[in-house]
Structure 1
Amino acid sequence: MPELPELAALAAFLDTQLRGAVVTKVQIVSFAVLKTADPPFSGLEGEVVTGVRRFGKFISLDADGLHFVFHLARAGWIRFTDSPTDIQLRMGHGPIAARLNFSGGPGPRGLDLTEAGTKKGLAVYVVRDPSDVPGIAALGPDPFSPGFDVDALADILGSSSQQVKGLLRTQSVIAGVGNAYSDEILHAARISPFALAKSLDRTEVQRLYDAIHTVLGTAVEEAHGKAPNQLKDTKRSQMRVHGRTGQACPVCGDTVREVSFADTALQYCPTCQTKGKILADRRTSRFLK
Structure 2
Amino acid sequence: MPELPEVHALAVDLQHRLKGRTVERLDVTAFHALKTFDPPVSAVSGQTVRAVGRIGKFLDIMIGELHLVIHLSLAGWIRWRDSAPQGRPSPKSPIGARLVLDDGTGLDITEAGTRKALALHLVHEPQQVPGVAKLGPDALELDEAGFAEVLRGAGRARIKNVLKTQQHIAGVGNAYSDEILHAAKMSPFKSADMGPDEVARLHQAMQAALTEAMSRAEGRPASDLKKEKKSALKVHGRFGEPCPDCGNTIKQVAYSDSSFQYCPTCQNEGKTFSDRGMDRLF
Partner of 2:229, secondary structure, is: helix
Aligned to 1:97: 96
Q: 1:84 offset after TM fit, Å? A: 2.1
4+ residue runs over 4 A deviation: none
1:31 is the counterpart of 2:31: yes
Give the structure 1 partner of residue 87 of structure 2. Answer: 87
- 1:261 aligns with 255
Q: Which residue of 1 aligns with 2:163?
A: 168
Q: Over residues 238-272 of structure 1, what are the superposed CA-to-partner deviations in whole Å (9 max), with x where a residue is unaligned?
A: 10000001111011111100100001000000010
Q: Which residue of 2 aligns with 1:271?
A: 265
Inter-partner Cα distance in structure 2 for 1:220 and 1:30:
30
- Give the counterpart of 1:186 among 178, 181, 198: 181
Number of aligned residues: 277
Give the % identical residues: 47
Q: 1:142-221 to 2 correspondence within 5 Å?
A: 142-145=138-141, 148-160=142-154, 161-198=156-193, 200-221=194-215
Partners of 1:276 and 1:155 lie apart in 2 by 30
Give 1:13's aligned residue.
13
Deviation of 1:143 after TM superposition, in Å, equals 1.6
Name the TM-score, length of structure 2 as normaliser: 0.96
What is the distance in 1 between the residues matched to 2:20 and 2:153? 45
Structure 2: where are the runs of 5+ without partners? Answer: none
- The 1-side partners of 2:97 and 2:157 are apart by 37
Aligned to 2:119: 123
Note the C-alpha offset of 1:159: 2.5
Q: Supply the distance in 2 between the matched residues of 1:66 and 1:135 (Cα, whole angstroms).
A: 17
SS of corresponding position for 1:151: helix
Moved more, 121-130 or 274-283: 274-283
Local SS of the residue matching 1:32: coil
Which residue in 2 is equivalent to 1:75? 75
Aligned equivalents of 1:51, 1:86: Cα separation in 2: 28
Q: Over residues 100-151 of structure 1, what are the superposed CA-to-partner deviations in whole Å (9 max), with x where a residue is unaligned?
A: 1013xxx542211111111110000000111111111111111222xx1111
Corresponding letter in the other structure for 2:64 = D
- Matches of 1:60 and 1:245 in 2, distance apart? 34
Deviation track 1:53-97 (CA, whole Å, cap 9, x = no partner) reads 10001101101111111100001111111222241223x311110
Q: Which residue of 2 aligns with 1:225?
A: 219
Give the corresponding residue for 1:133: 129
Look up the SS of the partner of 1:100 in the other structure: strand
Partner letter of residue 158 of structure 2? Q
Q: Aligned equivalents of 1:223 and 1:47: distance in 2? A: 30
Aligned-pair RMSD on alpha carbons? 1.3
CA distance in 1, matches of 2:28, 2:104: 19
What TM-score does the superposition give when structure 1 sets the normalisation length? 0.93
Q: CA deviation at 1:204?
A: 1.1
SS of the residue 2:50 aligns to: strand
SS of the equivalent of 1:225 reads coil
Distance 2:139 2:252 in 1: 26
**Relative to structure 1, is the Cα distance of residues 86 and 47 closer, same or farther in structure 2, using a 3 angstrom cutoff?**
farther
Amino acid at match of 1:188: A
Structure 1: where are the runs of 5+ without partners? none
